[in-house]
Copies of this chain bind each other. A is one copy, B any other.
Amino acid sequence: VAELVAQLAQTAVARDQSGGHAASEREAIRRSGLLSLSIPEQYGGQGAGWSEVLGIVRCLAEVDSALAHVFGFHHLQLAGVLLHGGVAQHERFLIPTARDGLFWGNALNPLDQRVIGEQEDDGYRIYGVKSFSSGSVGSDFLTVSAWHRSSGTALSAAVPTARAGVTVNPDWDAFGQRQTDSGTVRFDNVRIEADDVLQRPGGVATPRATLRSQIAQLVMTNLYLGIAQGALSQARHYLQTEAKPWFDAGVSEAAEDPYVQEQFGEFSLKIRAAQVLADLAGAALDAALEQGDALTAQQRGELAVSGAQAKVLSHRAALDVASAIFEITGARSTAARFGFDRFWRNARVHTLHDPVIYKVRDLGRHAIDGRLPDPTAYS
């Protein structure tokens, strides 16, 4: 991991500016073997717990939160296969993924109901477009959701990106997280076979099945934390190597300015509190996954509360620290070659996945009378 981090760091500023598809960096991830990290050993993977995966997301995001997202969402798709698929599907999808180092992308955005699924024999035919499809560009497999009109619910499936009728349009053009390969995927009457289907429409999800959204939330949480840590780390380095004390501060080193010390203290508090809560939520996720089908709605809900606590504080730590470090590093640190603005831009784009205020609301409901967050694609 350290080697991969070092490699990503070398070009992160330049790649942030160019945007587009990070082909060679994705190859580096592939070569690192980390694509099989969360795959159970019986399918040829490394059988790591999610805490470990999340720790690596955090670590990668310190230097490159776009590729950290590609990495994290790859594993999220695998988790979907494990949670929603049967054993035959586990074998069929995970064994080649581990063996050949395949990348999975996300075409599941559940608020986007423009992909329609219609029953056809024992499978489905799907058509329409799905935006915000993270990691779809350059992927080998996609997890996709399609709206099933007659039941008013969605189905989900795993399909090879190369399947006939699937077109990935690399049109992601946000001001941050620029290399997440979050293209738009068009499905032109794509055939979904019965054994591609992970979730049929109208089914009732068990508590365990709803863990997927909790994993997604924790991938983001740790990604935000990594951004915050990366911003702080760059500010610390700049302070020690480049910053000059303010002429009126009465100190000989910028690091001795009492206001600089105070601000670093505040940064570290924001980050530390979020880290600790994220670690607890990660451990709670591991425990919930170990429960398997015995997981109760109460246990699942408590995990969601723990995750929401970590998410809100990580969200705020990332945005606040990424914006405020400049008060320390000053005007010269805004030169484009440093690329310090990418922390804020990346945090700002990614923290909009779902509105943080509704996480605060969910925490409030829980604090009032123990009400647990409703299991949704976002909570």
Contacts and interface: CB of A to CB of B under 8 A. Distances in A.
A312 interface: yes
Contacts of A174: 331, 334-336
Contacts of A259: 258, 262, 355, 357-358, 361
Interface string A325-336: 011001101111
A336 to B, nearest CB: 5
Q: Which residue, of A264, A266, A333, has the highest number of chain B Cβ atoms within 10 A?
A: A264
A267 B360 CA distance: 10
A349 B326 CA distance: 8
A329 to B, nearest CB: 8
A357 B262 contact: yes
Instruction: Count identical subunits in the complex.
Output: 4
Interface in A184-241: 232, 236, 239-240
Nearest to A342: B175
A359 B355 CA distance: 23
A11 interface: no
Contacts of A376: 248
Given A355-B246, A360-B265, A323 B323 contact: yes
A336 B265 contact: no
B355 A330 contact: yes
A1 interface: no
Nearest to A316: B269
Nearest to A329: B352
B269 A369 contact: no
A162 interface: no
Pairs A-B, 7 closest by C-beta atoms: A265-B364, A264-B364, A261-B364, A265-B360, A268-B367, A265-B363, A273-B273
15 contacts: A173-B337, A174-B331, A175-B336, A259-B357, A262-B361, A264-B368, A265-B361, A266-B360, A269-B360, A273-B277, A273-B313, A276-B277, A323-B348, A326-B352, A344-B344
